[in-house]
Amino acid sequence: MIDLVPTTSWYLVLAAFLFVVGMVGVMVRRNPLVMFMCIELMLNAVNLSFVAIGKQLGSIDGQSIVFFVMVVAAAEVVVGLGIIVSIMRRRNDVNADDLVGLKG
């Protein structure tokens, strides 16, 4: 019987796969809500790699960085999702190219 214990490289491959899926989602999809979710997927992939490398090195630094990234991501979700939902309530068909008017 083969004992499959996940190693750091497994987690890094999973993080790379999640990051690529998020990157492809941002580049392909034009719906702002889907793009926003893909950006969050990319952030979580980076968090996974920080934790995996921190565990490999035996340091708590990776988990500390993840904590601050999650705090910033939570603030981003509150502001970004509020803006996206308010725009989507006014217009039924929203495209990322239509949001150019938000530039300052």
pLDDT of residue 104: 61
At which residue do the structure tokens 């934790």 appear? 51
- Series of mean pLDDT values for 10-residue runs along the chain (104 residues): 85 97 94 90 96 94 93 91 85 75 67
Helices 32-57, 61-90: crossing angle, 10 deg rounding: 180
In degrees and rounded to multiples of 5, residue 93 shows phi and psi of -105, 95
Cα–Cα distance, 56 to 103 (Å, whole number): 43
| Chain centroid offset of residue 91 CA | 26
pLDDT of residue 32: 87
Domains of the chain (ranges, CATH numbers): 8-93 (1.10.287.3510)
Q: Where are the alpha helices (DSSP H) in the chain?
A: 8-28, 32-57, 61-90
